[in-house]
Chain A
């Protein structure tokens, strides 16, 4: 197996949303949700994507899966251009890349029983009724919901954690190779979070899956990820292995994120200044480096143009002028 060929490759993805307002619904501003994002995911690894709300993670998830068409950029799945795929090919591609949603309440059709909800995907791809239901029931059992007890139930009768299990079952029923998980445990209680995370780890090993795991919770990201992407206001500010980032984060934002993560470990003291200022607004972000308005180390250069990613170690990139040798003059 050519383990170096990435399963997912994204280049220069850009997506801006128009904001319409006023009596005439004119476009008054743009939400720069995703701006020039480039990354890759190797087969079998878990790429964690972390950032605060509004940093564009959810939009990124939808762009990768082509649920939202980007304004610019390319997405390659196993060497194939996703954004240019024709409808027929796209439908087959969808079997390989699935999404687990964040909101366990809005992600299930309240009118369908959960086994029907899971079976629906199979029906879409031409499976027969009974066969689809059978497969759905098997999968429900695998995620911890006994189909004999839960199969004919409706979403409103399940707890948040149970609904997420249904979501996972629904995503896996098509035997995908890549699973994008958009804040899959954020809406759950801590104890339930642990159960669902462990389930995800088991499934990943069993089925040789590749995960793109999006979350704003640093502890969760550290727990599940092999490599991590740190996003801020629609851009990638740092990317590297989970170990490298947690032990020695380079970008000021990453440092602040890790410093402010609550921890029970008395050795992790606050050594760096916590983050200042208000949470970001992706409408009309600051010029140049978007973090400069909250950065303790901002230089005049930071306002002029956005810093390009610089490799500070093998497969560890930082977009910050502090590490750009040419910039510090």
Chain B
């Protein structure tokens, strides 16, 4: 993917030249599907953040008497789980866990991965070989298996999940960052900067970083949905968040046996994961299209 030319048609509004990021924002504002996905995401995130205030019941309080109430039951709009706890409240609180477990590793991978990738890409030679071969070893494993292997070794719990998923995603980001760095490094404006006597640090800061952040950001955004699915998946297996915490994957697991009693309620946590994951995918697709350099 070239990072050089920008389209002529969107580059000016009323005569003022637009910088690249302004062009991206402008394109996004015109993409209907992405706006919808973005709004959906905002709703999900907001409801997770505001859970303590908008949840109708205590997510951990339940009575066996009320277990597995169906959707639409009195004072339990989305029913109750196998321990009688209100589903809506648990879904709201669960969202916090799932989102944190899903987003944090990607953010960490984005930051660390960019640093490592740029280092490897710019330095070349032995540094590059060392870093990239190490990353290859991790990259060879399918994400699921690697996550399970590391989580299995570390044990359950949120912090361990964050560590294990970060390790899963860092090599992927490093690959993209390194490849983009190598490509930009070969462009003539970098050679021109060198010819002016710029130091490595100055070149990285003014020329390299700005031009590779785009592709790396787009890639990171495409990994979020997978991260959420994996985080919930780990909890589903018992390796992630531990009970009695509310987390969508965990809820899916504990409700699994109940599908013979009530079909809809056990499917709800998974539906939440699905909707969130889809919203992230659509939004990141839109972001990728907006950031694309067309000639």
Contact = CB atoms under 8 A, between A and B. Distances in A.
Contact present between A and B (CB < 8 A): yes
Interface of A: 62, 65, 67, 90-92, 94-95, 98-99, 101-103, 105-113, 117, 120-121, 124-125, 152-154, 156-157, 167, 170, 174
B211 interface: yes
Given A110-B3, A152-B17, A157 B12 contact: yes
A109 B199 CA distance: 16
Interface string B174-202: 00000000000001110111111111001
Nearest to B206: A120
A9 B149 CA distance: 62
Interface of B: 3-8, 11-12, 17, 19-20, 187-189, 191-199, 202, 206-207, 210-211
Given A91-B197, A106-B4, A125-B196, 12 more contacts: A62-B191, A65-B195, A95-B197, A101-B192, A111-B211, A120-B193, A124-B198, A124-B202, A125-B197, A154-B11, A156-B8, A174-B196
A67 B193 CA distance: 10
Contacts of B210: 109, 111
Given A67-B195, A95-B197, A106 B17 contact: no
Given A120-B206, A156-B5, A156-B6, A110 B20 contact: yes
Given A120-B206, A124-B197, A157-B11, A110 B188 contact: no
A268 B4 CA distance: 43
B189 A107 contact: yes
B118 to A, nearest CB: 16
Contact of B196 (A94, A103, A111): A94
Nearest to A174: B196
A298 B236 CA distance: 79
Nearest to A114: B17
A204 to B, nearest CB: 19
A111 B210 CA distance: 7
Contacts of B187: 106-107
30 contacts: A62-B191, A67-B195, A90-B197, A91-B197, A94-B195, A94-B196, A98-B196, A99-B195, A101-B191, A106-B4, A106-B187, A106-B188, A107-B188, A109-B189, A109-B210, A111-B19, A111-B210, A111-B211, A112-B206, A120-B206, A121-B196, A124-B196, A124-B198, A124-B199, A124-B202, A152-B17, A154-B19, A156-B6, A157-B12, A174-B196
Given A111-B211, A156-B5, A106 B189 contact: yes
A157 B19 CA distance: 11
Contacts of A101: 188, 191-192
Contacts of B202: 124
A112 B19 CA distance: 8
A153 B17 contact: yes
Contacts of A124: 193, 196-199, 202
A95 B4 CA distance: 27
A174 B193 CA distance: 12
A120 B198 contact: yes
A170 B192 contact: yes
Contacts of B20: 110-111, 154
Contacts of B197: 90-92, 94-95, 121, 124-125
Contacts of B12: 157
Nearest to A150: B17
Contact of A154 (B17, B191, B206): B17
Interface centre among A102, A105, A109 (most CB of B within 10 A): A109
A120 to B, nearest CB: 6
Given A67-B191, A101-B192, A124-B198, A156 B206 contact: no
A121 B5 CA distance: 22
A184 to B, nearest CB: 12
A63 to B, nearest CB: 12
Nearest to B293: A110
A124 B194 CA distance: 10
Nearest to B202: A124
A156 B9 CA distance: 11
B6 A120 contact: no
Contact of A110 (B5, B191, B193, B199): B5
A94 to B, nearest CB: 4
Contacts of A120: 193, 196, 198, 206
Contacts of A109: 189, 206-207, 210-211
A110 B6 contact: yes
Q: Top 3 nearest A-B pairs by Cβ distance?
A: A121-B196, A94-B197, A107-B188
Contacts of B198: 120-121, 124
